[in-house]
Amino acid sequence: MDDGELLFLGAARQAELVRTGKVTARGLAEASLRRIGALDRHLGAFRVVRAREAVLAEADARDAARAAGTDLPLLGVPVAVKDELDVAGEVTGFGGAANHTPAARDGEAVRRLRAAGAVVVGKTVMPEFGQWPFTESAAHGSARNPWDTSRTTGGSSGGSAAAVAAGLVGAALGGDGGGSIRIPAACCGLFGLKPQRGRVPTAPQPHLWYALGTIGPLTRTVLDSALLYDVLSGPSGSDRWAARPAATGFVRAASTAPGRLRIAWSARPAVPGVRPHPEHVAALRRTAGLLSELGHDVREVSPRYPDATAAFLPQFCGGVRAEAATVERPDLLERRTRQTLRLARLAPEAAVERAVRAGERLAVRAERVFAGADLLLTPTLAHRPRRVGALDGVGLAGALLRSRPMIAYTALWNVTGQPAASVPAGFGTDGLPVAVQLVARPHEETTLLSVAAQLESARPWAHRVPPLP
């Protein structure tokens, strides 16, 4: 089995191979490092790849654990981590150039991955402070879509998405404050679940962009994501929000048929003035038809979405301000970021807290669509992935305007806090992936995972690999 075949297997299968002795953790780590060395110059997925000796020492420790009879769920799986999360010994750059001192210890999510047997190979690129649904920055350039390197990966977890889609790692951590897991998953043909707010700890930070942000993986399969969420989930004691415990394990949910559910579907975006691409609407209709064939009660609806701007924008500004306050060289922040910080002066801490409470009230209205449905099905994106360079030459206002079609279906569910996932739904005539979004009731990731796995079984997507050199 060559490096690509091995890495494209994904996290669950890789861990099984190490567990059964068919490959070693060191062999997996070496394959990942070779593939990164060969391909990342075309993709720009990694901000930093950890020193080879450090990665291999970590892999050797996993092989020693296996030899001692230790059974770990992510044994030997090579993973990447988005640049906003702490990895001991590496700088937390937030996508920019304003920090220089390495983190002293892992963030809690990274610590849990390592405790479960994963091997961290590096940190992935992102737009500065994750502000944009395009992974482009002045400091580190642009991440490129493995399916067409002239196109965007989406963002802000675009480096993580490119690394998984190109088979550089078995899985990668991202974050989602307005769609930043789901958007790059849709652009790159991956499964990406934004979990319930408070499901995955943000420690050492008490929150990620206040009530908007969550941490979670990007993976090739539903089972891979479920496996990582079983590892990542649970309170840390210092998080501002905590999700209700899941009714069952996530792997178990992804392996269990959902039964007959009521599924509402709509092509209507939550952002006014945005029109979905016809191929996205066609994929939505095909998926609705498939779900009906699978035995679900599927009905078109026309939701009256509330305007989330007053709840979203102050938290966005406050979140960027809080992260920017931690950097060592604020003079090295990007021009657009400095513009965001000037805007943030209009949203002092009291206004941000009012926005959090406004989001809680808005959630009650947004969730009315679930009065007659167990899940909501929508497109993930309004437009097709743009060419790389979406942020070139534009300031804050231009970047916000260009972001609207990317977040038109995703950002509302960050305000409400409930689970939502991007699910692959084929390919467009441009050769790039197409995706749909499933949104669940609060705290019900298990329902979403079960249906997503059913869709994956009906139209497998993980066997498709991008045409890389």
- What is the set of active-site residues? 82, 156, 180
Round to the nearest angstrom and report the end-to-end CA distance of the chain.
Answer: 18
DSSP assigned state of 371: G
Which three-class secondary structure state does DSSP give residue 172?
A: strand
Q: Which residues pair with 148 in a beta bridge?
A: 145
Q: Which residue has the tokens 């930093």?
A: 48
- Closest Cα partner for 120 from 167, 84, 86? 86
- Closest Cα partner for 337 from 360, 319, 363, 312? 319
Q: Which helix (H) or strand (E) holds 111?
A: helix 108-115
Can you read off the two tokens belonging to residue 30? 């070496």
Residue 328 Cα to chain centre, angstroms: 27
**Rounded Cα gap, residues 435 and 381, in angstroms:** 8
**Rounded Cα gap, residues 372 and 303, in angstroms:** 12
Angle between helices 25-43 and 158-165 (to 10 degrees): 120
Q: Which residue has the tokens 């990895």?
A: 87
- Closest Cα partner for 156 from 181, 137, 186, 187? 181
Our CA angle for 261, 304, 298, nearest 5°, is 20
Determine phi and psi for 375, rounding to 5 degrees: -140, 155
